[in-house]
Structure 1
């Protein structure tokens, strides 16, 4: 896992700057709209940048919905389908990476 995080951090550091439209994505908006005290503009922007690199567009849409309806995340986590299992694994990897990058 450490090797994955190291490679991902390097990839993020080397990634070309994203267009403004991508930086203002669904996850950033959902993060900013949440009532979490740690949801600052800088942190939400960072989380969006990590999401842009770690998740597909459809994954980002789904994860953004979880900010307003956390129960849906639980539904995916508890699901027994291969598709949901794969999404949950990608989400966990994204969460670990965002936590490491956006502290």
Structure 2
């Protein structure tokens, strides 16, 4: 797993107590993955540009209840599909913009 993946994963696991995209940056900075402040700032910026506060809060709930994430991923409801796509887009953009 590369440094970005570790930082993004760490951000997701710390996120449940936080409610804004900037929380992703703080969680990244607090992670044990050895991520640089510049990398964490980049990830936080991508989250700001990609995810709404509601999407961040909902995604944070997935880590308390992984089955909920699975249910969203498999759901045919438009809202769930939009949520899943937003998080996929965030992950892809963070990897593209923040590595290198």
Question: For this structure pair, what is the TM-score category when the shorter chain's length is used for normalisation?
Answer: 0.5 to 0.7
Alignment of 1:28 with 2:25, yes or no, is yes
Calculate the TM-score normalised by the size of structure 1: 0.57
- Which structure has the bigger radius of gyration? 1
CA contact (8 A) 1:34 1:67 kept: no
Q: How many residue pairs align between the two structures?
A: 79
Question: Residue 25 of structure 1 aligns to a residue in which SS?
Answer: helix
Is the 2:51–2:86 contact (alpha carbons within 8 Å) kept by the matching residues of 1? yes
Give distance in 1, aligned partners of 2:51 and 2:62: 16
2:47 to 22, 46, 51: 51
- TM-score (norm. length: structure 2): 0.59
Aligned to 1:3: none
Is 2:81 the counterpart of 1:91?
Answer: no
Equivalent residue for 1:73? Answer: 69
SS at match of 1:101: helix
Q: Residues 62 and 69 of structure 2 are in contact (CA less than 8 Å); yes or no, is this contact kept in structure 1? A: no
